Amino acid sequence: MKVNDQSLGEEISNAISHGIGAGLAIAGTVVLIIKSVHVGTAQDVVSASLYGSTLILLFLFSCIYHSLAHNRGKKVFRILDHCSIFLLILGTYIPVCLTLFNNALGWVIFGIMTAITVLGIVFNAINLEKWHKPSLILYLAMGWVSLLTIKPILDRINKIGIVYLIIGGIFYSLGVIFFKSKKKYMHFIWHLFVLAGAIFHFFFIYLYVYK
């Protein structure tokens, strides 16, 4: 049985993997918000909440998309699934820009990433097939722009924190190899790489941004 070019077994694996991710994202968001309340300002709490929300949405939309049969609802959630990638990239920048930096540089980066995210979501919503490949390039570019902020980040945290940040980015980037593959269960492997990348970035934010 095929469901959106993947077997039923593949779709079950895809749904379960990111269903677990959604559960972890909810738990992590609660813990992060509690910590931000104790160590930060109201702005820090909002930053943590926005980041956590984008993390939850990515895994939740992905889980629902892969759980649905091949129908109109699945097409809608496919668009939401791809749009949520833009949201999570922006969401991951938010604590860095508005809590760790909280200066002109942070707000400029936040503004640029927000603009790119809005454009990416609009283009994907209009024609996902046409913008699928450009969006993939844009995802990677948005993520690795963070390398330009390494020095100001190092001015505020120790080198171990940077390792968490870079390893997370590597997991996301290497996962694209499996995402592009048409072999069986490669999309499931991509999901595991996304989950690993998200976990490393969560601990980077939890341990080194909200400290």
Of 108, 117, 114, 110, which Cα lies nearest the Cα of 138?
A: 117
SS3 content of the chain, % helix, strand, coil (to 5): 85, 0, 10
| Residue-by-residue pLDDT tens, the chain, 211 positions | 344 578 999 999 999 999 999 999 999 999 999 999 999 999 999 999 999 999 999 999 999 999 998 888 999 999 999 999 999 999 999 999 999 999 999 999 999 999 999 999 999 988 888 887 888 888 988 988 888 899 999 999 999 999 999 999 999 999 999 998 989 999 999 999 999 999 999 999 999 999 8
Residue with tokens 């995802």: 139
Query: In the chain, what are the domain boundaries?
Result: 2-209
What per-residue confidence (pLDDT) applies to 148?
85
What per-residue confidence (pLDDT) applies to 3?
44
Q: What is the pTM of this model?
A: 0.93
Instruction: Determine the topology of domain 2-209 in CATH.
Output: Rhopdopsin 7-helix transmembrane proteins (1.20.1070)
